[in-house]
Amino acid sequence: MASYRIGIAFFYHESHTFSPVRTTLDDFIQEGYHKGEKILAAYTGTKTEVGGFIDVVREKGGTLVPLLCAAAIPSGPVTRETYEVIRSQMLDAIEQAGEMDGLLLALHGAMVVEGVTDPEVEMLAAIREKVGESLPIATTLDMHANLGRRILDFTPLHFGFKTYPHVDMYEQGCKAATMLYRQLDGGTRFYASFVKLRALLPSLNMRTAEGPMHDLVELAKKQEQDPDIGGASIFGGFPYADIPEAGASVLVVGTDQEKTRKTARFLAQQVWENRERFVIALPKVRDALQSALQIQADKPIALADISDNPLSGGTGDTTELLREMIALDLENALFGALYDEESLQACMEAAAGATIRLSLGGKLSPEFGPPVEVDAKIMALTNGVFTNKGPMNTGLLVDTNGAAHIRAGGLDILLTGRALSANDPELFRHIGIEPTTKRILGLKVKNHFRAAFDPLVSQVIYVDAPGLASNDFTHFAYKQIPRPIWPLDEIDGGFMEEG
């Protein structure tokens, strides 16, 4: 078996174009920005795409060429300056790496840059120009990627996540690397077929444990049993990006061009026919809380504030759920995480044990509710650094930029120095809060948290609160998405673009 030099890289951001918060280089540095050998130290042994790349290349006896890894949590568009810096450093790393035999690249697929609606494809184009036409490239993509046909111009090898919560990042990284090696070892020629749909699918009902996306993914897996089909990916899209590429799509990779085309069309038709199943109604916050209080259970009831989920681009500081939990004077309840640098700093200055007056939240997006005034006792303070122990991004180091556990009446509240979803119980446990002992959990999350929290809670209630990640798309003033598009418009045919 030949020993190949394989480049590995990672450029990841999901961009909410309606967010008031721009994404800067500091945001990437805060979340994960690694160059060269530091990439191996950060990702070896992790259940991530890059962790999968590393394991397969080592298993095959190849030489890893770590280039650049840059990731930031979802927020507003990436500034043009930030993108140009990362793009330049990525291309410089490729040039300095010398001759490579292949490249593995982890992308999201829903990044937006100021003035560039499809920056990941633009990056792929620049990389292809740098490495030449013959170098094999394989990518992984998030299930919520907004794709256009042009992504096929630079490589056919694209593999999307098949789980939501995304607990198969590692497996898809391994798959992309394995397919790259098939091309290198045997000269296998791959084709790809793509279908774009005129559909903005609500991601709330996109979990793959049950429901429409579960059924569609199982259908995609069935197609992959054909030895001529190397990968069948269904992308739900990211509806909070006002760009021409927004919407659902299907991408199929295989060794038989006609089969890939037919399979892509078949799966796309199934997505279109199941679109109505993605729509669900949600209770208002007060109604949801009243329902939760009526439930007799031996585990917590979790209320999910999906409209301010940071991993959907929410600011992490809206206050309606917090306000209602305080108004009901709940006992043995937990709320978090609330992104509030000002209140966190006040806690740090006062120190643990003190009782102080705080004005919580409502600072980044006050249109969704003003701050909540509380007298709170500071229970504990940390630097906010912990390691994920749940099934998603297992082993990855997380930095909340500081954390404070405060208590207002019977409500425990977790404050953090940056917006992030409560997807791993270690977010609470690292500061001494045990979520399983609570009766009610108010969490700024959507679906990813369920990978770790489903075994810990008796029930999840999604609530209809105001926020940037609302499940109701009529709240957004779209200008660039393709029209007509479901569910905003009456439409007959669902296919928009094929390739």
The SS3 assignment for 495 reads strand
Pairing of strands 403-408, 411-416: antiparallel
Instruction: Give the Cβ contact number of residue 112 at 10 Å.
Output: 29
pLDDT band at 494 (very low <50, low <70, confident <90, very high): confident
pLDDT band at 1 (very low <50, low <70, confident <90, very high): low
Q: What is the pLDDT of residues 365-416, one digit of tens each?
A: 999 999 999 999 999 999 999 999 999 999 999 999 999 999 999 999 999 9
Amino acid 136 reads: P
Asked whether the beta carbons of 182 and 256 are under 8 A apart, the reply is no
Distance CA 278, CA 39 (A): 38
Q: Considering the entire predicted model, what is its pTM?
A: 0.93
- Mutual angle of helices 285-294 and 320-327, in 10-degree steps: 50
Instruction: Give the Cβ contact number of residue 476 at 10 Å.
Output: 17
* pLDDT of residue 277 exceeding 70: yes
What pLDDT was estimated at residue 493?
80
Distance CA 158, CA 139 (A): 5
Instruction: Give residue 460's Cα distance to chain centre.
Output: 20
The SS3 assignment for 107 reads strand
What pLDDT was estimated at residue 497?
72
Distance CA 331, CA 325 (A): 10
φ and ψ at residue 146, rounded to 5 degrees: -100, 105
- Neighbour-count burial for 51-65, b at 16+ CB within 10 Å, e otherwise: bbbbbbbeebebebb
Distance CA 236, CA 145 (A): 7
Structure tokens at 396: 């990855």
Distances from the Cα of 428 to the Cαs of 102, 117, 308, 332, in angstroms? 41, 36, 18, 15
Residue 106 neighbours by CB under 8 Å, 6+ apart: 9, 10, 11, 12, 48, 49, 50, 53, 69, 139, 140, 173
Distance CA 310, CA 326 (A): 22
Amino acid 151 reads: I
Q: What is the pLDDT of residues 220-241, one digit of tens each?
A: 999 999 999 999 999 999 999 9
- Mutual angle of helices 169-186 and 49-59, in 10-degree steps: 40
Q: What 8-state DSSP symbol labels residue 200?
A: -
Asked whether the beta carbons of 113 and 243 are under 8 A apart, the reply is no
Alpha helices in 141-256 (DSSP H): 169-186, 212-223
Q: What is the pLDDT of residues 18-52, one digit of tens each?
A: 999 999 999 999 999 999 999 999 999 999 999 99
| Mean pLDDT confidence for 254-274 | 98
Structure tokens at 445: 């999350």
Find residue 116's DSSP bridge partners. Answer: 113
* pLDDT of residue 2 exceeding 80: no
Distance CA 398, CA 389 (A): 11
